[in-house]
Amino acid sequence: MITDTHTHLYSSQFNEDQAAMIQRAKDAGVSRFFIPAIDSSYTESMFSLEKDFPNDVFLMMGLHPTSVKENYLAELAHVKEWIDKRNFYAIGEIGIDLYWDKTLLEQQQEAFRTQIQWAKEKKLPIVIHCRDAFDEIFEVLETEKGDDLRGIFHCFTGTLEQAKKAISYNMKLGIGGIVTFKNGKIDKFLNEIDLKHIVLETDSPYLAPTPYRGKRNESAYITNIVDKLVDIYGLSFKEIAEITTQNSKEVFGI
């Protein structure tokens, strides 16, 4: 059993072959797909995906930092409405992204902190999006840390020091296609991180691993990430799959 802890299966890039793409992943051994939210414009397609694949997909709810715009309070209200109405498996993906726009940092921080607090109230994990914002993310986590805080640092791309700091806040590291890139860097130190802190993800349709880099990613390609971790940790494919899936169960509770 392999768990893809972060995959946007509702993406319009899968409109033509969604069912076939999911079946390819299942044929490759992927049996659990965790689905992050972005904003209210994707909610309907997420619920449709869940209806079509009720035994395979597990939904999150949250406001992505790049969707924190002038209407972010209305978007947060949408998140709160749904997490009060039904069950989700995490609050995510949430966080801070300063790659595209730094002008809304304060609003991103507020949205991030607010959603962390909702996660604690609901006893749910968080799934963090961090791009060019490790210091800003850690600043918020420092104020919210505690036994009631847990989750995943999605698409981890930081240094060894940042990895250890993320783990200190009870976060697993989400490892995806970047670990297979020649310039990905994290493969140089990942063996210094105990595998118990690692979960697998694809972030499909984005960040396809080598040899598919630059093409549409899909959950079946998670096997290429497992292969890379086999090389890094010196364990078997089966061991990597089992340990990382167990780690995902610790995070999501299922």
**pLDDT tens, N- to C-terminus, the chain (254 residues):** 999 999 999 999 999 999 999 999 999 999 999 999 999 999 999 999 999 999 999 999 999 999 999 999 999 999 999 999 999 999 999 999 999 889 999 999 999 999 999 999 999 999 999 999 999 999 999 999 999 999 999 999 999 999 999 999 999 999 999 999 999 899 999 999 999 999 999 999 999 999 999 999 999 999 999 999 999 999 999 999 999 999 999 999 98
Sign of CA dihedral 159, 164, 169, 170: positive
Find out whether 127 and 93 touch, Cβ atoms under 8 Å: yes
pLDDT at 135: 97
pLDDT of residue 130: 97
Give pLDDT tens digits for 39-66: 999 999 999 999 999 999 999 999 999 9
Superfamily of domain 2-252: Metal-dependent hydrolases (3.20.20.140)
Partners of 155 in the beta sheet? none
pLDDT at 250: 97
Query: What residues does 200 pair with on adjacent strands?
Result: 175
**What was the pLDDT predicted at 161?**
97
The phi, psi pair for 45, rounded to 5°, reads: -70, -30
Strand partners, 174: 199
**CA atoms within 13 A of residue 149's CA, in its CB half-sphere:** 20
Structure confidence by residue, pLDDT tens digits, 175-193? 999 999 999 899 999 999 9
pLDDT at 19: 96
2: helix, strand or coil: strand
Q: Give the residue extent of every domain in the chain.
A: 2-252
Cis omega (within 30 of 0) for bond into 54: no
Which pair of structure tokens corresponds to residue 252? 């999501």
